[in-house]
């Protein structure tokens, strides 16, 4: 393994580890609020309003809105993680140290994006588990679902990076 490849690998692991550790260390601020918000959506829109709306194409209103609410939580958290982390690094002037290090800029980008994707997926899993208490969630094509969620989290993490820069 070449020195440059090893340096980039260590840098990528370090950035991703720092990002994951950052949002796990403050989980009451990063993981708990989206879960509480989605439970409120499930109760208010799913149970209270959903009873008055009725079925939609053979699905209850709750079954109809749950996939959208899961994706909404993935989108907002993958975007928000990268924006807050990168902007915080700029504000604290620690991004300058990363920029002058011998790390390739695309490794920095990939590290921040992976951190955002992992937070979006973590919140998505939490919201999916919570949604199972409110409705019967059916996944017809697991592979397509996983690819769509991963690509969505990646796109919105990239957009968050662009916004933070």
Q: Write down the residue that tokens 């209850």 correspond to.
A: 60
Query: Would 21 be classed as within a structural domain?
Result: yes
How far from 73 is each of 94, 105, 154, CA to CA, in Å?
Answer: 29, 28, 14
For 4-45, the pLDDT digits (tens) are 888 889 999 999 999 999 999 999 999 999 999 999 988 888
pLDDT of res. 3? 85
How far from 158 is each of 78, 123, 136, 162, CA to CA, in Å?
Answer: 9, 18, 33, 6
- Are 120 and 78 in contact, with CB atoms under 8 Å apart? yes
For 112-149, the pLDDT digits (tens) are 999 999 999 999 999 999 999 988 888 899 999 999 99
Query: Would 140 be classed as within a structural domain?
Result: yes
E strands present in 55-135:
none
Q: Write down the residue that tokens 């799913």 correspond to.
A: 46
pLDDT of res. 58? 83
Q: Which two three-digit tokens encode residue 8?
A: 């980039």
Query: Would 121 be classed as within a structural domain?
Result: yes
pLDDT of res. 158? 97
Determine which helix (DSSP H) or strand (DSSP E) holds 6, and give its type and residue range: helix 3-25
Query: Would 54 be classed as within a structural domain?
Result: no
Query: Would 109 be classed as within a structural domain?
Result: yes
Query: Would 51 be classed as within a structural domain?
Result: no
Query: Would 52 be classed as within a structural domain?
Result: no
pLDDT of res. 112? 96
Comparing C-alpha atoms, which of 114, 130, 119 is closest to residue 80?
119
- The residues that bridge with 56 in the sheet, in sequence order, are 59
The per-residue pLDDT of the chain, averaged, comes to 91
Number of domains in the chain: 1
Show the domain range for 155.
Answer: 3-46+59-164
Query: Would 148 be classed as within a structural domain?
Result: yes
């Amino acid at each position: 393994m070449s020195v440059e490849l090893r340096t980039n690998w260590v840098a990528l692991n370090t950035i991703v580890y720092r990002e994951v550790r950052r949002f796990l260390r403050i989980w009451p601020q990063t993981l708990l609020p989206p879960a509480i918000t989605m439970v409120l959506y499930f109760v208010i829109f799913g149970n209270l309003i959903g009873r008055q709306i009725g079925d939609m194409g053979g699905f209850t209103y709750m079954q109809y809105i749950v996939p959208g609410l899961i994706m909404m939580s993935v989108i907002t958290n993958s975007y928000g993680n990268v924006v807050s982390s990168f902007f915080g690094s700029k504000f604290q002037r620690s991004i300058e140290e990363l920029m002058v290090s011998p790390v390739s800029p695309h490794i920095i980008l990939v590290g921040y994006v992976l951190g955002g994707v992992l937070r979006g997926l973590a919140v998505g899993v939490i919201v999916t588990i919570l949604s199972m208490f409110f409705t019967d969630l059916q996944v017809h094509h697991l592979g397509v679902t996983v690819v769509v969620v991963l690509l969505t989290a990646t796109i919105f993490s990239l957009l968050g990076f662009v916004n933070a820069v």
